[in-house]
Amino acid sequence: MEEELLSIKNNAVSLILDASDLETLEDIKLQFLGKSGKLTLAIKEIAKLPQERRPSVGILANEVKSTIEEAIENQESNLKTQASKRIREKIDVTNPGIRPPLGHLHLVTQAIEEITEIFKSIGFERKRYPEVEWDWYAFEALNFPPNHPARDDWETFFIDSEPHKKFGPMLLTPHTSSGQIREMERNKPPIKMLNIAKCYRRQSDVSHTPMFHQFEGLVVDRGISIAHLKGVLDFFVKSYFGDKRESRIRPYHFEFTEPSFEVDVTCGVCLGKGCRLCKEGWLELGGAGMVHPNVFKNVGIDHGEFTGFAFGWGVERVLMMKEGIEIDDIRLLYSNKLEFLEQF
């Protein structure tokens, strides 16, 4: 019996040391230590031995078992180490990765998404209105006088069609402000809307494209004042341009707001000190103002009870004003050269 146990031990240890992979090792383990493994069976035989021999054989059997277990454990760890080493040596981690496809969203889309999120966080709801509009929505209801230059053929695109009896000529809206009239005709205050849309003006040069995008905000309620306009403006400028940029409002003139403001942001290059890219440290962001009483009158909102403010700024403009993006010709945005689009 003792001899048999020793032979099992020797046999097992030599097989274990020869095992070259984990699978073989697992087989060996089963072969000796499994339910019907050689050692397991031998140990069962011990019960048949005379009483006085059992303790010594039992001790030996246990020794054999732990020797085999230890050998398996050692060999397992050796094999694992070797395998890691092999994998380590085989792989060149500096080879390029296999990438999933990755395209690009247009800069304008990226800007629109960011702007929408900023205003959403302070309760503005984005809405959609027509791009092709009647004069009423684009000009007349916005208090533009009949002979205003924006209403003539040199600045606004008109559609070749019969004018509407009540709403006048059909045109491509030159600003998102037409959405103000649509919104106020449809809904009563409180109003807190954001309109981001395509606009069209009859000009094309390094800083103008005939089609461009604006974002327009309109807030109407009881007790809305210039202080609220300043609040929204400051919030947007800090959120979009960052903490280093400052904003200010100064007098300006628009037909559909009174008072009207021009909004400036400090130049991203000189941060307000003044440089060749800006006007004495400031860059114009766009227009804003308190909703004109005639506009309220035109949409049937009582301007004794309600006040409101509105702003309309160029998406492409804020995009260009953001630090780090300097595009010398805005028409590049719509040229759709992939070398350009794939940079963003």
Could you tell me the smallest distance in angstroms from the CB atom of residue 154 to another protein? 6
**What are φ and ψ of residue 98, in 5° steps?**
-95, 110
Q: Which stretch binds another protein (CB under 8 A): 11-19, 23-31, 41-49, 225-233?
A: 225-233
For the record, the structure tokens of 235 come out as: 């919030």
161 binds another protein (CB under 8 A): yes
Helix (H) or strand (E) holding 196: strand 191-200
260 binds another protein (CB under 8 A): yes
DSSP 78-91: HHHHHHHHHHHHH-
Residue placing its CB nearer to another protein in the complex, 54 or 228 = 228
Determine the length of the chain.
Answer: 344
243 binds another protein (CB under 8 A): no
Query: Rounded to an integer, what distance in angstroms lies between the CA atom of residue 261 and that of residue 233?
Result: 11
| Near another protein by CB under 8 A: residue from 11, 54, 79, 130 | 130
Phi-psi map region of 281: left, alpha, beta (phi>0 left; psi -120 to 50 alpha): left
- Residue 323: Cβ within 10 Å count: 13
Write the interaction track for another protein spanning residues 288-307; mark x where CB under 8 A is met and - where it is not: --x-xx-------------x
Residue placing its CB nearer to another protein in the complex, 32 or 129 = 129
259 binds another protein (CB under 8 A): yes
Give Cβ neighbours of residue 255 (< 8 Å, ≥ 6 apart): 142, 143, 144, 145, 148, 292
| Near another protein by CB under 8 A: residue from 24, 31, 116, 239 | 116
**If binding means CB under 8 A, how many residues of this protein chain bind another protein?**
84
| Near another protein by CB under 8 A: residue from 50, 96, 97, 149 | 149
Residue pointed to by tokens 């000529």 = 169
Write the interaction track for another protein spanning residues 170-189; mark x where CB under 8 A is met and - where it is not: x-x-----------------
- Residue 84: Cβ within 10 Å count: 10
Helix (H) or strand (E) holding 154: none
The separation between the first and the last C-alpha atoms of the chain, rounded to the nearest angstrom, is: 79
Write the interaction track for another protein spanning residues 73-112; mark x where CB under 8 A is met and - where it is not: ---------------------------xxxxxxx-xx---
Give Cβ neighbours of residue 98 (< 8 Å, ≥ 6 apart): none
| Near another protein by CB under 8 A: residue from 69, 221, 299, 332 | 221
Q: Which stretch binds another protein (CB under 8 A): 28-36, 52-60, 76-84, 332-340?
A: 332-340
Could you tell me the smallest distance in angstroms from the CB atom of residue 268 to another protein? 18
